[in-house]
Amino acid sequence: MPDNRRILEWISLKDAPNGVISNSDEIFAVLQEIQKLQECTGVARGRPQELRNIEWLIIEWRGSRDKEEFCTTELYLRLEEALATRSWSREVSCLLPDRGHIIAAHPMSPPMLYEVLTIYFPVDLDPATISCLEKFSVLPRWHIDGEDPVEYPSAALKAQTPVMWKEGTCEYQGQTARRFVYFIKFVNKEGERIYKEKVRYDPGGRTPLDIMSYFFGRLEDLGMIGYEPRHVEFVEIVHYVPENYVSEPLPTQPMECPPHNIADLEGDCDDL
């Protein structure tokens, strides 16, 4: 492993009982100070639409050594003390060396919709499969930035990033599983709908496939046993949240792998 890989720190924070945690809360005061550090490349906050009373905080660090040094500072102690008053959980993971920023939340840019997939796998995956998953990017994005998704459906997809393995294991569908997180960034909710309905995968000489069936079919071939989608728009931590920051939660259930024809999904990880 490289000595100084970039770090994404992900905190799940439980709401104050009466709704959105105030921008003046000590947690956000500390995070605004962290945002100013040269070692930090960004801090964002977002509320998953399908979950109640949860806010996600994302901190991106230039490198693992930068994060380690931060943990020796007074500012780190202030963050720990602020979090101690809340119900929360933290997951930390190294990013792949060739990845850029995961979260784009600049106030001068249009808000983007992130579909965050938690994908469940057996705990006994072999190293080759793990390597394939950490490089997994198969959704087509054939367009020039700025094109209209209505005319060019693939323009609705802005990025896809296999991000991390969540720490620890969990029980899923009666078996012990490990969890992989995949971020898909769309221009907006309508763009997500257009992309998933209109874009097809052409296997060459065979009937084109629904793109998401192809996507999840490839993951199933690598061992996926199921997945859960969440949707969120992130804003920078240094800015006040908009009035509509709390959206109406959407009902959701754990999703099974969509049906697909394995014969149509031939291919190994070399062509991912």
Domain harbouring 61, CATH code: 3.30.70.100
Same domain, 90 and 129: no
Q: Looking at the predicted structure, is the pLDDT value of residue 261 above 60?
A: no
- Does a structural domain hold residue 5? yes
Residues 66 and 143 in one domain: no
Domain end: 58, 85, 103, which one? 103
**Model pTM above 0.85:** no
Is residue 155, in this structure, part of any structural domain at all? yes
Choose the final residue of a domain: 77, 103, 129. 103
Instruction: Compute the CA torsion angle 160, 165, 167, 168 (nearest 10 deg).
Output: 130
Confidence band, pLDDT 50/70/90 cuts, at residue 96: low
Confidence of residue 19 (pLDDT cuts 50, 70, 90): low
Verify that 139 and 36 share a domain, yes or no: no
- 121, 97: one domain: no
pLDDT digits (tens, 9 = 90+) for 163-193: 888 888 999 999 999 999 999 999 999 999 9
Number of structural domains in the chain: 2
What is the model's pLDDT at position 168?
86
Task: State residue 106's pLDDT score.
Answer: 72
Same domain for 120 and 21? no
Would you call 262 exposed, middle or buried from its count of C-beta atoms within 10 A (0-12, 13-18, 19+)? Answer: exposed
Please tell me which residue, 97 or 140, carries the higher pLDDT value.
140
Q: Report if residue 57 sits inside a domain.
A: yes
| Rounded Cα gap, residues 157 and 140, in angstroms | 8
Query: Residue 27 belongs to what domain range?
Result: 1-103
135 and 226 in a single domain? The answer is yes
Most confident of 194-198, 236-240, 249-253: 194-198
Q: Are 124 and 225 in a shared domain?
A: yes
In a domain, 264, yes or no: no
Q: How far is C-alpha 19 from the chain's CA centre?
A: 23
204 — alpha (psi -120 to 50), left (phi > 0) or beta?
left
Residue 43 and residue 95 in one domain: yes
Q: Does any domain span residue 177?
A: yes
- Whether 225 is covered by a domain: the verdict is yes
**DSSP one-letter code for 3:** T
Establish if 221 belongs to a structural domain. yes
Same domain, residue pair 52 and 116: no
- 119 and 93 in a single domain? The answer is no
With H, G, I as helix, E, B as strand and everything else as coil, classify residue 71: coil
The proportion of the chain whose per-residue pLDDT surpasses 70, expressed as a percent, equals 78
Overall size of the chain counted in residues: 272
Q: Are residues 76 and 148 in the same domain?
A: no
Examine the domain organization and report whether 82 and 128 are in the same domain. Answer: no
Q: What is the overall mean pLDDT for the chain? A: 81
191-225 pLDDT, tens digit per residue, is 999 999 999 888 777 778 899 999 999 999 999 99
Q: DSSP for 116-161?
A: EEEEEEETT--HHHHHHHHT-------S-TT--TTTSGGGGEEEEE
Amino acid at 245: Y
Does residue 252 form part of some domain? no
